[in-house]
A = this chain, B = another copy of it.
Amino acid sequence: MSKTKKNWKKQLHEIIYEADTPAGKLFDVVLLIVILASILLVMLESVKSIDNKYHDFLNISEWVITILFTIEYIARIITVNKPTKYIISFYGIIDFLSTIPKYISLFFGGIHALAALRALRLLRVFRILKLARYLGASNNLVRAIKASRAKIAVFLFAVLIVAIILGTIMYLVEGEENGFTNIPRSVYWCIVTLTTVGFGDIAPQTPLGQFLASLVMILGYGIIAVPTGIVSAEYSNQNKTPSTNNPTPQVHLNSQSCANCLASKHQDGAKFCHNCGHPLH
C-alpha cells in the first residue's frame, strides 16, 4: 500500500469517524440531517393520503438517501483497518440494515418498513452533540440502572406471575360476554391495568369484576413505588460513594474512535488507543 493512499485513508477516517475537526463535524451534522430526513420520509410514505399525492417525490428522495447511505457504508468499510470488526459491530449492523430496505423493495416490496430501523442511527447524535460529557456525568445513572437491573427483573417477573393469576380469575369472573374472551386476553387486560395504562377497550362489567379490578388497580398503584424506589436509592448511593470502578471521573473524553479497533472514549491528548494500542491520529 502506498504512503499517499494510507494518508488519504487516514484523512477520510478522521472525517467519518471523528467529530473533532471542522470537516468531521460537518460530516456528522450532514449525516444527522440525512438520517432525520430518511425517518421523516418513511413515516410520510406510510400515510396513504400523502403517499398518493407525492409518491414520485418520496420514491426519488428514498433512492437519494439510500445511495448516500450506501456510499457512507462503503467509505466506512474502506477507511477502517479491520472492516469485519466494523461490519459485525452494533453500528455496522444498523448501518447495513438501514441501507438495504430500498434495494430489497426492488425485488419484493412490502418489507420497506424495515427502514424505520434508521431511527437507531439517531443514537449517533449523542457523539455529535458532545454528549459524551453528559453521559460521563450520567455514568452514575447507568451504573444505578445496572445495579437495579437484577432486582427490577425479579420484580417484573413477580408482576408477570401476579398478572397470570389475576388474569385467569378475571376470565372466570367476567366471562366471554364482557370482553374477557380467553385467558391470554385477560392476562393482557391485567397488565394494562397493573401498569396503570388502562386502554378501556376491555373493562369489567360485573360488580364482582369491578371490585377485583379495584384491588388490581390499588395493587398496581402500590407496586409502582418499588422500581422507582430501587432506582432512586441506587442512584443516590452511586452519587455518594465514589465507586472504585470509576477512579478518574474528571478526565475529559473526546469523540475520537480508533481506526484499528473502533474503540472510542479516548482521553484528550491520548496518543494510543486504550484498547488495542494502535496510534491515534
Contacts and interface: CB of A to CB of B under 8 A. Distances in A.
A154 B126 contact: yes
Interface string A191-214: 111111111110100010011011
A122 B160 CA distance: 10
Nearest to A126: B154
A96 interface: no
A109 interface: no
A246 to B, nearest CB: 16
Contact of A195 (B131, B183, B196, B232): B196
Interface string A51-74: 000000000000000000000000
Given A184-B46, A196-B195, A161 B116 contact: no
- Sorting the interface of chain A by its residue count into under 10, 10 to 19, 20 to 34 or 35 or more gives 35 or more
Interface string A140-158: 0100110010111010110
Contacts of A30: none
Nearest to A40: B184
Nearest to A123: B161
Given A116-B183, A165-B117, A218-B159, A231 B226 contact: yes
A247 interface: no
Nearest to A45: B183
B195 A221 contact: yes
A224 B220 contact: no
A83 to B, nearest CB: 27
Contacts of A234: 229
Interface of A: 39, 42-43, 46-48, 113, 116-117, 119-120, 122-123, 125-126, 131, 134-135, 137-138, 141, 144-145, 148, 150-152, 154, 156-157, 159-161, 164-165, 168, 171-172, 181-185, 187-188, 191-201, 203, 207, 210-211, 213-214, 217-218, 220-222, 224-237, 239
8 contacts: A46-B182, A47-B181, A137-B151, A156-B221, A194-B221, A199-B203, A225-B232, A229-B232
